[in-house]
Amino acid sequence: MSGIIDELSWRGLIAQSTDIDALRAASSAGSLTLYCGFDPTAPSLHLGNLVQILTVRRFQQHGHRPLALVGGATGLIGDPRMTGERTLNPVDVVEGWVGRFREQLDRYYDFSGPNAAIAVNNLDWTAELSVLDFLRDVGKHFSVNRMLDREAVAARLAAGGISFTEFSYQLLQGYDYVQLHRRYGCTLQTGGTDQWGNITAGVDLIRRMDGASVHAMTVPLLTKSDGSKYGKTETGTVWLDPALTSPYAFFQFLLNTDDQDVATMLRTFSFTSRDELETVIASSAERPHERAAQRALARELTSLVHGEAESDAVEAAGLALFGQGDLGDLPPGTLTAALTEAPHAVVPAAEVVGGQLPAFDDLLVRTGLVASLSAARRTVGEGGAYANNARILDAAARPALSDLHHGEWLVLRRGKKAYAGVRLERP
């Protein structure tokens, strides 16, 4: 049981706490029951959520019991955002997302053993709660003045207003903590720093309604060294669902972590020991060009989220695409995912003449690897153009259908670092 607070501290995973010394003492004295809730306001959990999930997982590995809460009720409303009112999702859509979140959480918590996780849904105690009971039993304990102080609420009021629906969210989350305390003896709620107001509202509500003292702790939000939000790409959020963010894209996103951020990312996500992490971080600082820390991060986290076999496959794909492996060994799905993420061009079947695709110089331009046909010919002449990792010797040559991997893809590369795909569109 002991040691979890110290571990979280050296990892930099404690931002705020109601009383850190009391929490340390309680976590050392016996098994705590804790929770961190996730609202299904999207079809999948994302990388930012994973920070919270894995923090709870660390508690479980130290002998504490997690409640895997999915907000079937609060997900119908949505926590107030700084930017404006949310669009309410249909009830059946939210219900479907609840099931998907539950399946994703199953991967990270252990639901067997002496401190087995328990799956809970706040709709179970909210659905039958009448408006009058809610206002009399819960609402009377909240000060509107204090609710107005919450950063998101204040920002929305300054920007034009907030609906009563979203304004009431804090009461619902606070009541969740009350119910989990009563039903399961839950005495710790964790979350991101943006949830501090909601979490402490629950702590105060338990004190007022039940006369009990419980704990709250927040984890820093995932940000880059420059303060910008981490977990976003040019194409959007990094999701945990492989259908929304492919394992290849997930791996590459982590592999491309900035040198200034990788130490923090490893401490946040890795489950290797402190000594091992510090060794990797130190060696990477001495030889940053080798990107050992980034590769360690990408391997471990992709294995955790998508499985070790998938992690191995996408790592091999990355190496092969840069000429360090055999493209023919890559599974069709992995190659397709990798090239879909990269610049690529589609060749209609009508452009195939005599079993051959358009000429290499044309394809190099179409994929964006070069700006013009003359640039393509110059690149080929200088020995810097490759097709399926073999040097292109004649810019006017036409690749054959037999050159396509899995009957669909041709891989082009310019130099060592720029690659693209050509996909044959079958009729």
Element (H or E) spanning 68, and its range? Answer: strand 65-70
Residue 331 corresponds to which tokens in the numbers above?
A: 């599974």
Q: Which residues contact 266 (CB under 8 A, 6 or more apart)?
A: 277, 280, 281, 293, 296, 297
Beta bridge partners of 70: 38, 121
Q: Looking at residue 90, what DSSP letter applies?
A: P
Q: What is the pLDDT of residue 225?
A: 80
Residues present in the chain in total: 427
Nearest Cα residue to 13 out of 237, 339, 271, 185: 271
Residue 118 has a pLDDT of: 98
Contacts of 422 (CB under 8 A, 6+ apart): 344, 345, 346, 347, 357, 363, 366, 367, 409, 410, 411, 412
Take residue 47 and report the two structure tokens written for it. Answer: 């990388």
Three-state SS string across 94-152, please? HHHHHHHHHHHHHCCCCCCCCCCCEEEECHHHHCCCCHHHHHHHCHHHCCHHHHHCCHH
Task: Give the chain's domains with CATH numbers.
Answer: 4-221 (3.40.50.620), 222-329 (1.10.240.10), 342-427 (3.10.290.10)
Give the per-residue pLDDT at 150.
79
Residue holding tokens 């946040």? 268
H helices of 138-273, in order, are 144-148, 151-159, 164-167, 169-184, 196-210, 247-255, 262-269
Q: How many CB atoms lie within 10 A of CB 152?
A: 19
Relative to beta strand 33-38, strand 188-192 is: parallel
Name the burial class of residue 344, with classes exposed (0-12), middle (13-18) and buried (19+) by CB atoms within 10 angstroms of its CB. Answer: buried
Question: pLDDT of the chain along its 427 residues, tens only?
Answer: 569 999 999 999 999 999 999 999 999 999 999 999 999 999 999 999 999 999 999 999 999 999 999 999 999 998 888 788 888 999 999 999 999 999 999 999 999 999 999 999 999 999 999 999 999 999 999 888 888 887 888 888 888 888 888 888 999 999 999 999 999 999 999 999 999 999 999 999 999 999 999 999 999 999 888 777 777 666 689 999 999 999 999 999 999 999 999 999 999 999 999 999 999 999 988 998 889 999 999 999 999 999 999 999 999 999 999 888 899 889 999 999 999 988 999 999 999 999 999 999 999 999 999 999 999 999 999 999 999 999 999 999 999 999 999 999 999 999 988 999 999 997 7
Per-residue DSSP letter, 350: G
Position 335 scores a pLDDT of 93
Token code pair at residue 91: 């009830």
Tell how strand 65-70 and strand 33-38 pair up: parallel
Alpha carbon distance 309, 221 (integer Å) = 30
Angle formed at CA 7 by CA 5 and CA 12, multiple of 5 degrees: 95
**For position 146, what pLDDT does the model report?**
84
